[in-house]
């Protein structure tokens, strides 16, 4: 009988707690969104599977000695995985649209307003009983507004490791919902006539300009915001490998094998933080709510800045491109193009929207550097 009792106590049935079952259901939901709905499947699938693994009782996946524990400690605690992702993203990015029309930098900067508005929102939530966000917590939550998953994970790992799971899930969930969240905001803030504006074709960009750009961006970051150089530096390295044309093998590795391998481990590491004791808290609801607000504010501020630039330019800029100032590359640019085509079937805004879109990637990295410098 004692042997049967020992055997029973070693099963999952005897050890499951309600919180673990709930979080495994959350993991299953993420898998459903990734597989069935195709919402950010490259990240939501490993995150969802990691959430299921970490909540298996007595398995010890996330405890010292478990594989998820070591993946997290090696890649997330050190900040290595987000930086490698940024290098791969840099190798995949074409700055031609931004170089050809540098004014789009203002739209990338304006869209980051959502980050700093949410910072104050997180602090104000402390007035509600049950919330107790420190300034570091609030800074890590606010970065969700940049719609940049790797940046959100990097900053959360530095400032609020305990909130990493909720922040990462919120960031990638709202990135996946870009086609649903952005269009109503874009249409609310613009008129049919503004959405129909056709922008002039961009000028050709030389190879010299493309090679010089990442070096110039890195130099400016070194001089004015060294705290942002880990993210910006790896991003510029990836882009320089792509544009230089002399290390094609390295560039293709960064674009494919390396970023794919790191994405698998990054997702599992984030999933390991979706344990019941860390995720099923009152604060998680606040993070998810603030993430939605941050994303909406970022989209709105980008569109409003673009409206101002349109007025100042005599109607040469379509205000819709401001919505691409968030860092969801290239999804936000595609959404801008789709909404523009609905207003004018001859209005192709994709290349114009890529300018603020890639500027948003740099903007979110700079915003993370500012927050890290202030409260890190």
Kindly list the domain boundaries of the chain, sorted by start residue. 79-251+277-375
The rounded percent of the chain whose pLDDT value lies above 90 is: 63
Q: Which of 5-14, 116-125, 130-139 has the lowest mean pLDDT?
A: 5-14
* Closest to 111 in 3D by CA, of 173, 186, 167: 186
The reply to whether the predicted model has a pTM over 0.85 is: yes
* 349/76 Cα distance (integer angstroms): 37
Asked if residue 302 lies in contact with residue 322, where contact means CB atoms within 8 angstroms, the answer is yes
> pLDDT at position 13, please?
65
* 354/279 Cα distance (integer angstroms): 35
Mean pLDDT, the chain, whole residue set = 90
What are the tens digits of pLDDT across the range 63-107?
898 999 999 999 998 889 999 999 999 999 999 999 999 999 999
Longest dimension (CA), the chain: 86
First to last CA, the chain: 56
Asked if residue 228 lies in contact with residue 370, where contact means CB atoms within 8 angstroms, the answer is yes
Q: How many CB atoms lie within 10 A of CB 156?
A: 29
> pLDDT at position 6, please?
67
Output DSSP code: residue 228.
G
Q: Which residue has the tokens 């959404």?
A: 335
Q: Give me the count of residues in the chain.
A: 376
> pLDDT at position 162, please?
87
- What is the mean predicted confidence (pLDDT) over 217-245? 95
Q: How many CB atoms lie within 10 A of CB 1?
A: 5
What are the tens digits of pLDDT across the range 311-321?
999 989 999 99
Asked if residue 109 lies in contact with residue 359, where contact means CB atoms within 8 angstroms, the answer is yes
Q: How many CB atoms lie within 10 A of CB 343?
A: 19
| Residue with more model confidence, 104 or 294 | 104
- What is the mean predicted confidence (pLDDT) over 223-249? 95
5 pLDDT higher than 70: no
* 52/50 Cα distance (integer angstroms): 5
């Amino acid at each position: 009988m004692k042997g049967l009792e020992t055997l029973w106590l070693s099963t999952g049935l005897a050890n499951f707690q309600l919180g673990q079952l709930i979080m495994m259901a959350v993991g299953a939901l993420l898998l459903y969104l990734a597989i069935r709905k195709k919402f950010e499947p490259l990240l939501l699938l490993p995150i969802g599977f990691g959430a299921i693994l970490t909540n298996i009782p007595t398995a010890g996946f996330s405890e010292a000695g478990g594989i998820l524990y070591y993946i997290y400690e090696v890649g997330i605690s050190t900040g290595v995985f987000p930086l490698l992702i940024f290098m791969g993203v840099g190798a995949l990015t074409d700055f031609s649209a931004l170089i050809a029309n540098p004014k789009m930098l203002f739209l990338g900067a304006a869209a980051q307003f959502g980050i700093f508005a949410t910072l104050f929102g997180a602090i104000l939530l402390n007035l509600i009983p049950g919330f107790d966000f420190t300034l570091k917590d609030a800074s890590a939550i606010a970065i969700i507004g940049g719609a940049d998953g790797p940046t959100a994970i990097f900053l959360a790992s530095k400032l609020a490791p305990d909130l990493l799971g909720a922040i990462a899930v919120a960031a990638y969930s709202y990135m996946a919902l870009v086609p649903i969240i952005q269009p109503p905001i874009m249409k609310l803030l613009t008129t049919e006539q503004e959405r129909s504006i056709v922008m002039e074709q961009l000028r050709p960009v030389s190879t010299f300009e493309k090679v010089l750009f990442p070096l110039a961006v890195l130099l400016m970051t070194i001089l004015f915001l060294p705290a942002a150089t880990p993210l910006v530096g790896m991003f510029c390295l990836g882009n320089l490998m792509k544009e230089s044309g002399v290390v094609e093998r390295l560039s293709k590795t960064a674009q494919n094998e390396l970023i794919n391998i790191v994405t698998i481990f990054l997702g599992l590491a984030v999933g390991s933080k979706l344990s019941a004791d860390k995720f099923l808290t009152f604060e998680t609801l606040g993070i998810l709510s603030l993430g939605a607000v941050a994303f909406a504010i970022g989209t709105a501020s980008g569109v409003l800045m673009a409206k101002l630039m349109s007025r100042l330019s005599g109607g040469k800029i379509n205000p819709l491109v401001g919505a691409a100032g968030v860092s969801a590359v290239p999804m936000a640019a595609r959404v801008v193009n789709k909404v523009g085509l609905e207003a004018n079937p001859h209005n192709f805004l994709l290349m114009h929207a890529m300018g603020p879109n890639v500027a948003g990637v740099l903007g979110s990295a700079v915003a993370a550097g500012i927050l890290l410098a202030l409260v890190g």
